[in-house]
Structure 1
């Protein structure tokens, strides 16, 4: 993997981590209001899970394979 590729992946990773934190905050804020929108929370949680999976994938690409 070239340095440009790695830098691009690290940049995407940082953006995804920030979006993941923002979604956490948004979900918490919505849940604190009564009544809250279950469908909206469900969509945000689904997006959060997608982001978490993408973060894991990028971390795997950036971490060299270690033969145990």
Structure 2
């Protein structure tokens, strides 16, 4: 359970980025550069979450 606070923090940030992606995507003229940056950040968070979950035996 050492990673639990970090995992919760990453999950929260991941959800926040999902919301930002949805908001940007729903704009009349979404900014592709912003969407790309957010999607990369979301993927990096997902990869770190997977790594932490795997390292603690899940």
TM-score range, shorter chain: over 0.9
Q: Which residue of 2 aligns with 1:11?
A: 5
- Unmatched tracts of structure 1, length 5 or more: 1-5
Equivalence for 2:38: 44
When the two structures are aligned, how many residues end up with a matched partner?
A: 58
Q: Distance in 2 between matches of 1:52 and 1:36?
A: 23
Per the normalisation by structure 1, the TM-score is 0.80
Larger Rg: 1
Root mean square deviation, CA, Å = 1.1
| Structure 2: tracts of 5 or more residues without a match | none
Report the TM-score when normalising by structure 2: 0.93
Matched, 1:32 2:26: yes
